[in-house]
Amino acid sequence: MDVVNAYTNFSGRMRRRHFWIFSILLWLASVAFMTVFGGSPNDGMGFIRPYRFDGAGIFGFVAGIAVFAATLAVHVKRWHDRDKSWPWTLLLFVPIIGWIWILIECGFLDGTAGANRFGSSPKPVG
């Protein structure tokens, strides 16, 4: 799976291995943006500071939106591999229980074997 497709396309399916790789890359990008644009864990909003509207603040805000959209694309495709539709991605907004559910379902359980309603299996046969 190519990187651009993984982060921008909401259709299709994603293997568990690719889910982990692309999720870790997104996490690293988030950490890098927080470091570069002055976010701290104590401000409660990460690197998006409402009182800072200079060039770095605006760029940091736009970068945060891009990382969030890419995260949604990765999660939607992984849910598709589990033969579930996009609303399951809303579990991202349920603290603790939703995150644990996503971790187990998307991170550890295998996708449906063969084709499902979201496309053919991304896992090679054999």
Torsion angle, CA of 71/85/112/110, rounded to 10 degrees? 40
Encoding tokens for residue 21?
């790789």
Distance of alpha carbon 32 from alpha carbon 42, whole angstroms: 17
- Determine contact, residues 7/70, Cβ cutoff 8 Å: yes
pTM of the model: 0.80
Span 6-29, mean pLDDT?
A: 93
Q: Among all chains, which residue has been given the structure tokens 């598709």? A: 80
Regarding predicted confidence, which is higher, 124 or 11? 11
Close Cβ partners of 73 (under 8 Å, ≥ 6 residues apart) = 6, 7, 8, 9, 10
Backbone angles phi and psi of 26, in degrees to 5: -65, -40
What is the residue type of 46?
A: G
Each residue's pLDDT tens digit, 45-95? 544 455 454 555 677 778 888 889 999 999 999 999 999 999 999 998 899
The pLDDT value given to residue 86:
94
